[in-house]
Structure 1
């Protein structure tokens, strides 16, 4: 098989892989896909446009009601209007010593467009995330300007095949070790910072000296090689002249 034919075969195979893999990544998802239990974080719903001749004009995210989030704040998205819907809770939440009987249950973005072949992210600041759950499932409705509505509402089952229209899922992980002392650890002493800075400067000085020595050695080597090259060139030219004279004689 010649090179050109092999290239065509490889290209066709790669195109087939991309074509088959495309739909699996073309649904509404939440990024990052993980967050720590009991904490606060910023997540973003990534919405790709799956249609060739229609634009996405609306996104509606329904938040879980079995584990409501007391704090939900959308980040402005240029060109889009956002509406936050609150609902009364069957069981009030307690947060920072206060009882909360209402929580955000839906966030809707309208007024903008996601053109074919592009995507848009819609960020939310959320918290406090539950401590007794391993994931939160958000249901999404994506509306196109031809009135088609795609319902990303199917909850993925662990160990099972991915649903045809999977809902965005935020995995909840255990807090990192020492996370409770984060604020205390962040307030480090200035002496420690100073010592670290001086140590870093000393190491930087050592590194700088080593680099300078290496540069000097490299420069010397380059000069020697240059001289050797000139000598070899002169010898070669002389040899060529002598060889030419011998041929003439």
Structure 2
């Protein structure tokens, strides 16, 4: 937009210069040939009218540019910059702690911290200690935190793609919870034991296949969501001309590069 304004200003100067030349030669011709005052007055009004129209168009374009710039500033501040911090955080975590987690299979990382409590029982045979799970908490990176930030966004400032992916993502997470409950109702042990002997049977079951479809779709939406966050952030930086560096998601990590 700024480049367009600069080109438009040059065009205005060029038009103004041409009008000035036309007015100057008209004056000289009028003086030499003794044209009437009416014609001379008409030329002055015509030039003034054209100049007023050009000034009005220029003011409108400048107002529109300022309005557009304010929109991109709000979009960057309230939407894409906060989301970008989450992407940066999780990609750095992936690089340091979980480099084996492929980004295409795990676009959004989730770390779960499980807390246990110890129970001690005294008997004639001695002391027996048992560990029981008390609760699970989100770790340094989590899908829950991602959803919280998405819920805080001003949807009116989002690009259409981001609004589409956020809506789809929240829906697919709700469907995933339903499918997991259906699977757990039929196979209660499956959700709590890693080496469950009926794992193959469960994966081939109706509930297992339905959950698998939902998980694949969730992974696709997460990839689209991450790419849109990076793309939208770079678009805001470009429109505002804040920097020549842009975010790029590479195989190893997230980095900044110049176009």
TM norm structure 2: 0.22
Structure (1/2) with the larger strand percentage: 1
Structure (1/2) with the larger helix percentage: 2
TM norm structure 1: 0.23
